[in-house]
Amino acid sequence: MLRRLCLSIALAAALVLAATPVWAGYYTTIVVTSNTTAYEKLALNLTLDIDGLVAGGYITASGLDTRITDTHYYILPHILAEDKVLWVGDVAGNTNTQFLMFTQQEPIESFATITGHGGYVTIPDDPALEPGDVYAFGIMGYVNTDAGADKNNIRKDSAVKLYVSAAETLTFAVTGGNSLVATNVTSGFMTIMVYCDGFELWMTIDDVEQDRDTASAVPDTASDWVLFENNVMPYVSYYGEWVVP
């Protein structure tokens, strides 16, 4: 039995994998105990000997034949690292919540990107990634639009930022240039696109235009790119940037 303290949530999982009549393969039960309030779409992680599972023949080297589900077998976003499994799920308050990890399933194409609670992604500054005056950004995933400090989807200091500026409000701001604002954006899975063609700047969410203004070139700075800060996105299915060389 492993125990790991993470974000005031005690995680325990039986490492003995048992055969299940529900799906072919094997499974283990993960029990999450919250001693405080309930959480929605919480990024969770559990230390696990992934190499040992591969060596034992329980999973393939890629790990893409695994699944994490709730007790209703609803498939949840997850990813395997060298020494842990990360997933996103709802956790009940002041009680136990069970999750199931299945192996030897039909391989999925890719994992979700899960940075973990309080985690983020850093991309080093690179001249090839400077947006200039013709560019596009795209994000697909679950966005938490509750109000909060520094909830940044995209941040490049002194250059550009896409962030939750107020409750249910997303703002794309170019330093020294124009801004785009989308309001009444409920938390959920969505696709956010920002385009600048050198003449106009506009933002869409799920193919619905939210705001439009005149184009603004993004300043060229030496700052790194920082993505998905402060739990703004518990999981990400896709991120892309397009620039004109």
**Contact criterion met (CB below 8 Å) for 104 and 59:** yes
- Give the pLDDT of residue 15: 41
Assigned token pair, 171: 């703002």
72: CB partners within 8 A, 6+ apart: none
Query: Which domains can be identified in the chain, with CATH numbers?
Result: 2-102 (2.60.40), 121-243 (2.60.120.200)
Give dist(CA 132, CA 218) in Å, integer: 5
**Contact criterion met (CB below 8 Å) for 86 and 99:** no
Mean pLDDT in each 10-residue stretch from start to end of the chain (245 residues)?
28 41 74 89 94 94 96 95 95 93 93 93 97 97 97 98 98 98 98 98 98 98 98 96 93
- Give the pLDDT of residue 8: 27
pTM (predicted TM-score): 0.88
- Give the pLDDT of residue 24: 66
CB atoms within 10 A of CB 41: 20
- Give the pLDDT of residue 137: 98
